[in-house]
């Protein structure tokens, strides 16, 4: 746990802030071309698999809740999950909805999305309502 947690500026700039749940920042990537959430736990540890077991379980529990949201509320039924951190070293976990005719299927989204679209404020409010309450 890191009480002096500060969100990496690149993540802050790339994403909408959805909420803070159990010391994990839940972000939504601004590119709405696929439903792409990013979880950022309050830790100085840079690798998911180097965390204490209980911390890892908490993050995966929230990731699973986000995946449930994507499957229930969008037509993206396949979920890609990853924690890479080669560019932004602050530990973050991607939860990304995918479908066979999406922008870069079957490639992973990282570095491969070709188009961009934006969320409107009402959609972001709805996502916050559903996931955070």
Q: Which parts of this chain interact with its own copies (CB under 8 A)?
A: 46-50, 53, 56-57, 60-61, 63-64, 66-67, 71, 78-87, 95, 98, 105-108, 110-111
CA atoms of 20 and 111, how far apart (whole Å): 27
Q: Smaller CB distance to its own copies: residue 4 or 49? A: 49
Smallest distance, its own copies to C-beta of residue 129, A: 21
Q: Report which secondary-structure segment, H or E, holds 18.
A: strand 15-21
Q: Minimal distance in Å, beta carbon 97 to its own copies? A: 11
In terms of CB distance, is 23 or 81 closer to its own copies?
Answer: 81
**Nearest CB to its own copies, comparing residues 44 and 125:** 44
What torsion do the CA atoms of 22, 33, 101, 95 make, to the nearest 10 degrees? -10
Q: Do 97 and 35 contact (CB within 8 A), yes or no?
A: yes
Smaller CB separation from its own copies, 79 or 127: 79
- The helix/strand/coil state of 95 is strand
Contacts of 28 by beta carbon, 8 Å cutoff, 6+ apart: 15, 16, 18, 35, 36, 37, 38, 119, 124, 127
Q: Quote the least distance from Cβ 98 to its own copies, whole Å.
A: 6
Q: How far is the CB of 116 from its own copies (least distance, A)?
A: 20
């Amino acid at each position: 746990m890191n009480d002096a947690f500060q969100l990496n500026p690149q993540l802050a700039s790339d994403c909408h802030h959805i909420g803070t749940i159990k010391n994990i920042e839940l972000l939504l990537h601004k590119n709405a071309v696929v439903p792409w959430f990013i979880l950022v736990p309050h830790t100085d540890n840079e690798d998911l698999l180097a965390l204490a077991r209980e911390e890892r379980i908490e993050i995966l529990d929230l990731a699973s809740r986000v995946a449930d949201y994507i499957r229930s509320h969008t037509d993206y039924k396949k979920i890609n999950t990853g924690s890479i951190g080669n560019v932004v070293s602050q530990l973050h976990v991607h939860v990304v909805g995918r479908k066979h005719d999406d922008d870069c299927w079957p490639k992973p989204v990282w570095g491969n999305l070709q188009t961009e679209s934006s969320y409107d404020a009402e959609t972001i409010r709805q996502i916050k309502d559903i996931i955070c309450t």
